[in-house]
Amino acid sequence: MHELLDSALARIESAASAEELEAVRVEVLGRKGVLQALSKDMGKLSPEERAARGKLINTAKQALETAYESCKAVFENAALARRLESEWLDLTVPSPGPRPGSLHPITQIQWEIEDLFRSLGFSVLDGPEVETEYYNFDALNIPKDHPARDMQDTFWLEGGHLLRTHTSPVQVRGMEKLGPPLRMIAPGRVFRNESVDASHEHTFYQLEGMMIDRNVSVGNLIYFMKTLLTAIFKREVAVRLRPGFFPFVEPGFELDIQCLICGGTGCPVCKQSGWVELLPCGLINPHVLRASGIDPGEWNGFAFGLGLTRLVMMRYAIDDIRWLQSGDLRFLQQF
């Protein structure tokens, strides 16, 4: 018994691995192990011998189990230390997180213009993209048989609704809601039933603005437009004003800027003309004021529509409008 105990203890203490230790445990302490076999034989012994043998076996068993548990703990601690070392993680390092994005160039310029007009005392208004025929056309002095409706072919929805062709309906809503005096801009997404090419998209962005007060003149209009363009392009831009027809203004103008992509020599964006139509504008037609319950005898004002998408193309020299809604990250990561 003493020999058995000594040799088993020596094997437990010299075990080189957890597997080796386990093999000793199975052999000596296991259900089919040596100690168990010795216990089975005890039936043949006298009661005195049996008691003495049982005591010996139990003492040996306890000594071996204690030795086994402490060796096992050493192996487990070593395994845990190895794992902690190999799976070490510094929780104070900032997480890499998702790759930061950037604002779309249209959003960037829209926010810049909003800031500029806010500083000039204008409110920034929003309106629905799904409009009624009344707000998109009729209230803007564009009756059913008017040729301007052909120029603004759009997507019609059930129930007489349509996707707005311009942000002008927000002007009508603004006049109705706020009344004069009024300074507002309305940036937003608009839609046309267009064939798509380098300079036409079915979905694009405009920014509409109006000022209604007493004694507003074309001089006021030109002042605000020049302030706007200087702020956007951060330099002098050649502009020209030519008469233009828009049913909701009278007189109406077409404000063109010299093409910033080709410098005026001609390219696909300016359709080889050297000029880009940027800004239809004019003094608000009295019919439009009256339709919104404003007395044109007392109030007048100017209105302008800005091609926000076109402005972005001019500022960043983007030669194809289709890039803007392509969702192509190679394009977007440049801004």
Which parts of this chain interact with Zn ion (CB under 5 A)?
259, 261-262, 267, 270
C-beta of 170 vs 259, nearer to Zn ion: 259
Distance CA 55, CA 199 (A): 100
Instruction: Pick between residue 186 and residue 260 the one whose CB is nearest to Zn ion.
Output: 260
- State the helix-helix crossing angle for 2-14 and 47-86, rounded to 10 degrees: 0
Question: Taking the chain, what is the end-to-end CA distance rounded to the nearest angstrom?
Answer: 84
Residue 199: closest CA among 76, 332, 322: 322
Minimum Å distance from CB 283 to Zn ion?
30
Q: Which residues of 320-334 are buried (b: 16+ CB within 10 A; e: fewer)?
A: ebebbbeeeeeebee
- Shortest distance, position 274 Cβ to Zn ion, whole Å: 6
DSSP structural state of residue 197: B
Scan for tokens 């004019």, then name that residue.
282
Alpha helices in 30-164 (DSSP H): 34-40, 47-86, 105-119, 133-136, 148-151
Residue number with CB closer to Zn ion (118 or 240): 240
Angstrom distance (rounded) from CA 101 to CA 99: 6
Strand 161-163 vs strand 123-124: parallel, antiparallel, or unpaired? unpaired
Q: In angstroms, what is the minimal distance from the CB of 277 to Zn ion?
A: 12
CB of 272 vs Zn ion, minimal distance in Å: 7
Nearest residue (CB) to Zn ion, 170 versus 267: 267
Nearer to Zn ion, 68 or 275 (CB): 275
Smallest distance, Zn ion to C-beta of residue 278, A: 13
Closer residue to Zn ion (CB): 190 or 270: 270
Shortest Å, Cβ 225 to Zn ion? 21
